[in-house]
Structure 1
Amino acid sequence: MNRDQSPFSDVTVSHSSNAASAHQSRTLKTMVISTVRQHHINISQMTTRLVVVGLFADFSVALIKFAAAYLSSSSSMMSEGVHSLIDVSTGLILLYGIANSRRPPTLEHQLGYGRELYFWNFAVAILIFSLGAGVAFVDGIHQMLHPVQLSNVAINFAILAISAVVEVASLTYTIRSIDRKRGHQSFHRYLYVRRDPTSLTVVFGGEASILGLAITAIGTALSITQNNPIYDGAASIAISVILAIAAVKLAAESKSLLIGVPADPAVAAAIMADVASSPAVLAVNGATTVHLAPEQLLVALSVWFREDMRSGEIEEAITAIEDRFHRERPEIIMLFVTPQTPKRYRQQQTYAMPTVTKPQLETGVH
């Protein structure tokens, strides 16, 4: 491939003065070949659509919930209105994060901006916990300490029914969109493998909204049948607990992704097997992978090439690997390949993935 046409901006080879030797073992000690793709990979359009659909649904529902809360003096309905308003805010924040994460790498941020997606998801989790759960809890306590009888209850139930239809429709759209992409993987397994906290936030938000509506309906019904508005306050507190649990789970996932998580083991094993199938490769000693975004991977490989290969031939072999990955695995935006013997690799690793060799590929044993 012509260097100017390569999707990777640099193929850098550094080696000591004796690297011209024909014996590979003398060059492997000091040679590292890296390939870096400088254009960015788009965040899935599906993820953006899910956020936009959820945003419009939440905005519509927030308006009618606040109207119902004002007419009925229901604290649980007010909590639901705040919940939907928080969902609107989180949707806007997520869209901002998606837009920023698509920016190409710069000199100051050479790995790109993919992790902005993880940061803003973490910010969303904090917002849900502090405002969503906090306001709902305070409203519930206030209603229990200073009960106010509910009024216009029929409006409340009508609004709850309309909100439920909108939320169920939005969540159904989200689930069906993900189902079309996940193949044979389970729903939650697919979200985990993609390392996509945004889709997870949309799903959790939809589930929490529907559960919150059900609790509000129960609290309202009990308040009327028992003639005691304390049940309405208790429903508001229950909603705050649901929001807090969802926020903590989302924050934990986003924190893990911000620190850096590897590709799914099956994905890493497939990458190693692809490289090991090259005629120039004796074995792939191991792989280090890090998600920079749901569809952006950094991959570092330790590869044992044939002993009779010179440095120029090794570079050509790595270029062939690079070209194949560009065609078949566009999610790999940064690739490092270190020619290395298995012994040297084991000496440098505190942990290691099992080496993938030719016999293992032939027998199917990894």
Structure 2
Amino acid sequence: MNKKSSDGSTRVTVLVALAANLVIAAAKAVGGLVTGSPALLSEAAHSVADSLNEVFLLASLRRSRRPPDDRHPFGYGKERYFWALLAAVGIFVMGGCFSFFQGFEALRSTESESPSGYAVGLTVLGIALLAEGASLVRALIQLRGSPDGLRDPALRTVLAEDSTAVLGVLLAIAGMVLHLLTGNILWEAAASFAIGLLLVFIAYRLGAEARGQLIGEAVDPELRGKLRTLLEAQPEIDNVATLLTMKLGLDSTLVAARIDLTPGLDSETVELVCVRIKNSVSGIWPTADQVFLDITEAPTGAGAGACGVPERAGTHRENIQDART
């Protein structure tokens, strides 16, 4: 699946989740106000937070595809992680904290809703369960069709939101049913606390992942090992002193290597070697589009320095000119 179609599928998935959450949030809020159920009100806050987060994710899909410019020469790929971090904060504040508040309010309450009122609430939750389940199925279908889908923070956030939404609705149903059967509101308070803990955990996981990518995370050790093996296999490279990598986005990776070349190479040969290695790396791993090679010990007749510029691999002539500059 190419980048454009992958983004289109993710956008549709986010839009489906947004539509479902807006309808569900309204239904849960009305049902919660009618019944006075703290668990249902917690779920309403959960859906409101999810709706806001989907707006953040749609913004990330649009902004992360902007081309590189003078101010951001490596592009805007990390926009996705920034908006995913905001979504995690939204889940924590609007979902988790409000659920804890509703749990404490339930413990202070002495009122008990009538069976007819809880019938309304359970009906709303049943409809919400179907809608959240449909949104989750949509996200899972996209994930199945895209083996690298979990690298996408937008899709990963939707999956986390929908999974916790389904589990949260089940917890709210359990709390309401047990309250109705026993007459003890403690069950609904417990359901609100459980929903709050679930949302805080999910927010922490999503936030930690986004934080790691924003700070600058290396590629996985297996890929790094393959890159080093490729470089060491080049006959002109005597030693790979340092190999650094960093993910710049879903489709962009920086590779910087400090290498020692074998003696006896002239400057023209060094240029050709740099071009060939850059093309080899980008050809095998298309996402490795920013390749820099730093020659630490220049051979006789060749100038020491770096070869490789922050441009995607182009024609042979273009790459020769890049190496010379």
Whether the 8 Å contact between 1:287 and 1:302 is mirrored in structure 2 is yes
Alignment partner of 1:271: what SS?
helix
Deviation (angstroms), 1:288: 0.6
Residue 248 of structure 2 is aligned to residue 292 of structure 1: yes
Alignment partner of 2:146: what SS?
helix
Q: CA RMSD in A?
A: 2.3
Q: Is 279-288 or 53-62 further displaced after alignment?
A: 279-288
Q: Is 55-64 or 261-270 further displaced after alignment?
A: 55-64
Q: Which residue of 2 aligns with 1:94?
A: 57
Deviation (angstroms), 1:76: 0.9
Whether the 8 Å contact between 1:121 and 1:197 is mirrored in structure 2 is yes
Alignment partner of 1:102: what SS?
coil
Alignment partner of 1:331: what SS?
coil
Alignment of 1:1-366 (within 5 A): 44-45=6-7, 46-151=9-114, 152-182=117-147, 191=150, 194=151, 196-340=152-296
Q: How far apart, in 2, do the equivalents of 1:175 and 1:78 lie? A: 27
Structure 1: state its 5+ residue gaps. Answer: 1-40, 184-189, 342-366
Q: With a CA cutoff of 8 Å and minimum separation of 6, indicate the structure with the bigger relative contact order.
A: 1
Alignment partner of 2:62: what SS?
helix
Deviation (angstroms), 1:304: 3.7
Deviation (angstroms), 1:42: 6.2
Aligned partner letter, 2:167: L
Deviation (angstroms), 1:279: 4.7
Structure 2: state its 5+ residue gaps. Answer: 298-325
Q: How far apart, in 2, do the equivalents of 1:337 and 1:322 lie? A: 8
From the superposition, tell whether residues 101 and 256 of structure 1 become closer, same or farther in structure 2 (CA, over 3 Å). Answer: same
Q: Which residue of 2 aligns with 1:10?
A: none
Q: How far apart, in 1, do the equivalents of 2:93 and 2:65 lie? A: 28
Whether the 8 Å contact between 1:42 and 1:102 is mirrored in structure 2 is no
Deviation (angstroms), 1:143: 2.0
Q: How far apart, in 2, do the equivalents of 1:148 and 1:339 lie? A: 76
Whether the 8 Å contact between 1:147 and 1:230 is mirrored in structure 2 is no
Q: How far apart, in 2, do the equivalents of 1:201 and 1:157 lie? A: 27
State the aligned residue count. 292
Q: Is 257-266 or 276-285 further displaced after alignment?
A: 276-285
Alignment partner of 1:287: what SS?
strand
From the superposition, tell whether residues 73 and 106 of structure 1 become closer, same or farther in structure 2 (CA, over 3 Å). Answer: same
CA deviations 1:166-215 (Å, max 9, x no partner) are: 222222222232233328xxxxxx73xx3x43332222212211111111
From the superposition, tell whether residues 147 and 324 of structure 1 become closer, same or farther in structure 2 (CA, over 3 Å). Answer: farther
Deviation (angstroms), 1:43: 9.7
CA deviations 1:76-130 (Å, max 9, x no partner) are: 1111011011101001011112211111222222222222211121111112112
What TM-score do you get using the length of structure 2 for normalisation?
0.82
